[in-house]
Structure 1
Amino acid sequence: MEIVTLCLFLLLAVVVSGVLSRVLPAALPRPLVQIGLGALIGTAAGIKVELDPELFFLLLVPPLLFLDGWRIPKDELFRDAGAVLGLALGLVFLTVLGLGLFIHWLIPAMPLAVAFALAAVVSPTDPIAVGAVAQKVSIPNRMMHILEGESLLNDASGLVCLRFAIAAALSGVFSLPAALGTFAWMALGGVAAGVGVTWLAINGKFLVARHFGDDVGSNVLVSLLIPFGAYLAAEHVHASGVLAAAAAGIAMTFVGTSTAVGAATRIRRRAVWDMLQFTLNGVIFVLLGEQLPSLFEGAAAALAGTGHDNRWWLLVYVAAIVAVLAALRYLWVWVSLKLTLFRARRQGNDAAASPPRRVVAAMSVAGARGAITLAGALTLPLAMPDGTPFPARDLVILLASGVILASLIIAAVGLPLSLRNLRLPPEEGAAAERDRVRTLTAKAAIAEIERAQHELCGDGDDADRYTDVAARLMAQYRERIDSIGADQGHRDEQAQARVIERKLHLAGVRAERRTLLDLAQRREVGLSLADQLGRDLDLVEARLTRLEA
């Protein structure tokens, strides 16, 4: 009963945070409101949650990483793969090495291996925190895509570094070849597990539905189970479960387009995932806030091992760690951009211009840490092999919590300041590609309406009526093509009232979807645009199908 009550308190806090985030100033992101509510619950209500890191990772992290991987624009992700991998791999390894040495210098009482463990915990950014901060900040699309891709992939590299730092602390031995081999297996095995589980689940469901029928509920439930299956499969073979969940989401974009899923199913599935995303995001940050009071209660004992009794030293340590994190990130981003411009100019692109310094600053302050950092810190063992307490464990958890709060505050304050009145050149080709795709789908709809007209009317007495209705619908599609050619705004959809008109219109919409999917599969249209236009077609098809029934 206590567990049920606790869950209800957490959900109520998430609902209240949604209201408060709209009432409070825009500069205060929802995660900070949720952390504050969680701290209030933990202090005033006397609720104590024993946060099991393994259970936390299994229940809360996979669906959110899966959804982020599913919805992240794939073309932009592949286009900026170099920048994303540089941040997700190179920056993480640089941070672990540089920050680990700095922490050991700053806190000599903390063993070097434990300092590297703390650096590994705070090195990866959190996709949940980055997305939550971005809700109230207008971030340029390309920058947001890079940040999302980085936060999706850097958990694997950070957790591998954490695993080897813990092993070195426990045994006093570190092997670089073993570390590289383990990282390769965790990364490749995680990606393979995520893609494999998604492919098996979606195609297996499609085969069953083709022979025995299908329903909306089972399709939605399968999509909910995929991230957990990918995570467990990867963990079973000692690969990266978090990377498997993200890879499963990315694979959904490609596997899901090859199977027939009704428009009503896609709409309801999207609504379920939107609700789940809001709920789990909120629960994670409320839980994080609930942990803070008990952590700060032990601050004095944690600091005692460093030779300081004043709790203000905790702020000094957190500020120093955050400053070094920001400096390393700024240095990496600046050097990466310079190298990119150098390569572009060597290839003959003399028009490549250096981005404003505020873009580099924005990328530096946007690396928010979140609940995955806290969960990683909590995975530190309680004791050494000889039974003695693990050195500085409480201090590591406390500093990781401080870094989470500081990074969220810095991102909430620094991003609006660095991006204010920033003018960036618009991405070229997006409007032209949209017009081209809408023209192709409209032509396909016209052809399908002509075919359906002859098939439905036959030689009956309603031939003239079918002809009139088909001509009216095809005229609407031709108006779309003409308006695109004349650079006019798109027209509003006209309500369809008669049965014949609905049938022909439905045939045209389905032809549009087939053409759109075919273009996406042949990579003749961007996947992001295909998904956006597909949502519009889903709404039209669902409405027409409901009226037809």
Structure 2
Amino acid sequence: MEIFFTILILTLVVSLSGVATRILPFQVPLPLMQILLGALLAWPTFGLHVDFNPELFLVLFIPPLLFADGWKTPTREFIHHGREIIGLALMLVLVTVVGIGYLIYWMVPGIPLIPAFALAAVLSPTDAVALSGIVGEGRIPKKIMGILQGEALMNDASGLVSLKFAVAVAMGTMVFTVGGATFEFMKVAVGGLLAGIAVSLLYGRSLRLMSRWSGDEPATQIVLLFLLPFASYLIAEHIGVSGILAAVAAGMTITRSGVMRTAPLAMRLRANSVWAMLEFVFNGMVFLMLGLQLPGILQTSLAAAEIDPNVETWMLFMDIILVYFALILVRFLWLWAMKNISLRFLKKKPMEFGSYSTRELLIASFAGVRGAITLAGVLSIPLFLPDGSAFPARYELVFIAAGVILVSLLVGVVMLPILLRHVEVTDHAQAHKEERLARSTTAEVAIVAIQKMEERLLTDTNENIDDQLIKEVSSRVIGNLRRRADGRDDAGNSEMEENLERRFRLAALRSERAELYHLRATQQISNETLQKMLHDLDLLEALLIEKS
């Protein structure tokens, strides 16, 4: 019962965190609010203690979140930015592990070289979820955000694989060689991607079979969709490849497989709602768990620092600041170097970095905030070595990693709004042009489809419909579409007409719903009829609202 009550309390706090950010007189990003609430719950006054199992945390929270991010990531844009993403998610991670690892070894007393590499490895992954929570959706220019999201999807795997190598060397279970590490990384990364693609394609085939057996029942299909990221992750981990990349690949594959495009309308509508709710809860749980661990990490680390003669308490806090700004400096210099390499050696097909201004380089640098993967990674470092002795400086590694997460969030809250001031996020003229093109082209295609349907209905003897009625309805629908197709110079009036018609239809639907409840109250219709009619009205209203 204690576990059940704990889950209920955490879910309630996650739900109320969004309300808390709105009622405060000053703006606090949602991730920081959830971390603060978690720390308050773990304070001795409340005494809520949740044991943090890093392996369970990775399995429970990370696959669905990465799957959802992969689902929303356009595959074409991801491939288009492939060079930039590889440069950040692979090369920058290696530079960070080596450079920051040696810096930590040189700067922080008591941390040997291999544990320093382990700390640098867990600090290398960035967190796009935390970034969106800080600045909000759509605040960072698309040409930057697209690369940052792709980087965050991929560098989790490279950072955790680097951590695995460092821990294995520290534990004495393997000897590090460049060739062996490169082969192992390629095996883990490529194998994870292939595993995710294979599981996702197999799921698509299974879903079609299930649709034949269960009909268009959306509940079964949504539950299967919810299990897909966990299946991808667990299968990949079982065969010894990256479960994180498998979850990402599954999310990106599901959008290209046509499963959602051909799924029943009810499933598409419900799946979007269910995933939006799950994302909110899981994201909130991640930051709440981070907050819950902070008091314990702080207490344990400070107590260990008092015992360690080589470490003073103030030095731990200074180490956090120095390590964080070293990460920012390395990231900025790497982006600057990639910009200059692109301008000098890739003139025919330059990378996106080649067009970045200094401000945009700074935005991309401070946007590299750390989050859940960093915490899970550092807490997964073993407590003891095989000989029974304590893992070297583990408390310092955990303290510095947790501190860097907090500092990156706090500095991002301050710096990113300043850097983003007066920055044009989207090209409104281009977006308006694309929208007009899409509206016009789709209208022309729809007119052809309606004309064909009219011809079929007029020649079909099985359709017991008056020919005049067919032509009248067809002409009315084609007339509306024709105004949209021909309205290239008057798109505003066409859009205004459609919006006005939508408002009238919504008003009619809502009055119909009220009348249905009245008919049920006066016992003129049964509850079954009421539910069926309400379901139809809800689907229509959802479609109308989605278009508005």
What TM-score range do you get, normalising by the shorter chain? 0.7 to 0.9
* Structure 2 gap ranges (5+): 506-537
Q: Does 1:117 align with 2:118?
A: yes
Counterpart residue type for residue 498 of structure 2 = D
Counterpart residue type for residue 224 of structure 1 = F
The counterpart of 1:463, out of the listed 432, 449, 467, is 467
Matches within 5 A, 1:158-177: 158-171=159-172, 173-177=175-179
Query: Residues 298 and 211 from structure 1, CA distance in 2 versus in 1: closer, same or farther, beyond 3 angstroms?
Result: closer
Match of 2:10 in 1: 10
Match of 1:472 in 2: 476
Deviations 1:275-329 (A, max 9, x none): 0000000011011100111111112233247635642222101001001100000
Match of 1:225 in 2: 227
Matches within 5 A, 1:128-527: 128-135=129-136, 138-171=139-172, 173-210=175-212, 213-256=215-258, 260-304=262-306, 307=309, 310-343=312-345, 346-347=347-348, 354-423=355-424, 426=427, 430-457=431-458, 458=460, 462-488=466-492, 490=495, 491-492=497-498, 494=501
Once residues 503 and 33 of structure 2 are traced to their aligned partners in structure 1, the CA distance between those partners, rounded to angstroms, is: 46
Alpha-carbon distance, 1:354 to partner: 4.7
Counterpart residue type for residue 407 of structure 2 = A
Match of 2:519 in 1: none
Once residues 267 and 394 of structure 2 are traced to their aligned partners in structure 1, the CA distance between those partners, rounded to angstroms, is: 48
Once residues 441 and 423 of structure 1 are traced to their aligned partners in structure 2, the CA distance between those partners, rounded to angstroms, is: 29
Once residues 283 and 120 of structure 1 are traced to their aligned partners in structure 2, the CA distance between those partners, rounded to angstroms, is: 24
C-alpha contact 1:296 1:398 (8 A) present in aligned 2: yes
Deviations 1:424-482 (A, max 9, x none): 78388544443333333222211222222233355667211111111000011101111
Query: Residues 145 and 93 from structure 1, CA distance in 2 versus in 1: closer, same or farther, beyond 3 angstroms?
Result: same
C-alpha contact 2:21 2:27 (8 A) present in aligned 1: no
Once residues 127 and 354 of structure 2 are traced to their aligned partners in structure 1, the CA distance between those partners, rounded to angstroms, is: 30
Structure 1 stretches (4+) deviating beyond 6 angstroms?
Answer: 538-542
Alpha-carbon distance, 1:28 to partner: 2.3
C-alpha contact 1:202 1:255 (8 A) present in aligned 2: yes
Match of 1:50 in 2: 51
Moved more, 194-203 or 136-145: 136-145
Q: What secondary structure, in the 3-state scheme, does the structure 1 residue paired with 2:140 have?
A: coil
Q: What secondary structure, in the 3-state scheme, does the structure 2 residue paired with 1:319 have?
A: helix
Counterpart residue type for residue 238 of structure 1 = G
Deviations 1:472-511 (A, max 9, x none): 000111011111354546341536999xxxxxxxxxxxxx
Counterpart residue type for residue 316 of structure 2 = L
Once residues 293 and 226 of structure 1 are traced to their aligned partners in structure 2, the CA distance between those partners, rounded to angstroms, is: 35
Query: Residues 212 and 295 from structure 1, CA distance in 2 versus in 1: closer, same or farther, beyond 3 angstroms?
Result: closer
Moved more, 78-87 or 288-297: 78-87
Once residues 194 and 423 of structure 2 are traced to their aligned partners in structure 1, the CA distance between those partners, rounded to angstroms, is: 40
Once residues 258 and 379 of structure 1 are traced to their aligned partners in structure 2, the CA distance between those partners, rounded to angstroms, is: 36
Match of 1:533 in 2: none
C-alpha contact 1:362 1:418 (8 A) present in aligned 2: yes
Counterpart residue type for residue 477 of structure 1 = L
Match of 2:534 in 1: none
Once residues 424 and 398 of structure 1 are traced to their aligned partners in structure 2, the CA distance between those partners, rounded to angstroms, is: 36
Query: Residues 289 and 139 from structure 1, CA distance in 2 versus in 1: closer, same or farther, beyond 3 angstroms?
Result: same
Once residues 15 and 82 of structure 1 are traced to their aligned partners in structure 2, the CA distance between those partners, rounded to angstroms, is: 39
Deviations 1:237-259 (A, max 9, x none): 11111111111111111013586
Deviations 1:30-71 (A, max 9, x none): 111000000000013111111111110111110000000100
C-alpha contact 2:142 2:426 (8 A) present in aligned 1: no
Moved more, 433-442 or 223-232: 433-442
Once residues 488 and 495 of structure 1 are traced to their aligned partners in structure 2, the CA distance between those partners, rounded to angstroms, is: 15
Q: What secondary structure, in the 3-state scheme, does the structure 2 residue paired with 1:50 have?
A: coil
Once residues 305 and 497 of structure 1 are traced to their aligned partners in structure 2, the CA distance between those partners, rounded to angstroms, is: 73
Once residues 430 and 496 of structure 1 are traced to their aligned partners in structure 2, the CA distance between those partners, rounded to angstroms, is: 24
Match of 2:64 in 1: 63
Once residues 137 and 475 of structure 2 are traced to their aligned partners in structure 1, the CA distance between those partners, rounded to angstroms, is: 47
Counterpart residue type for residue 177 of structure 1 = G
- Number of aligned positions between the proteins: 502
C-alpha contact 1:73 1:145 (8 A) present in aligned 2: no
Once residues 504 and 426 of structure 2 are traced to their aligned partners in structure 1, the CA distance between those partners, rounded to angstroms, is: 45
C-alpha contact 1:109 1:305 (8 A) present in aligned 2: no
Q: What secondary structure, in the 3-state scheme, does the structure 2 residue paired with 1:256 have?
A: coil
Match of 2:23 in 1: 23
Once residues 258 and 407 of structure 1 are traced to their aligned partners in structure 2, the CA distance between those partners, rounded to angstroms, is: 37
C-alpha contact 1:76 1:142 (8 A) present in aligned 2: no
Counterpart residue type for residue 401 of structure 1 = A
Once residues 464 and 496 of structure 1 are traced to their aligned partners in structure 2, the CA distance between those partners, rounded to angstroms, is: 29
Query: Residues 226 and 108 from structure 1, CA distance in 2 versus in 1: closer, same or farther, beyond 3 angstroms?
Result: same
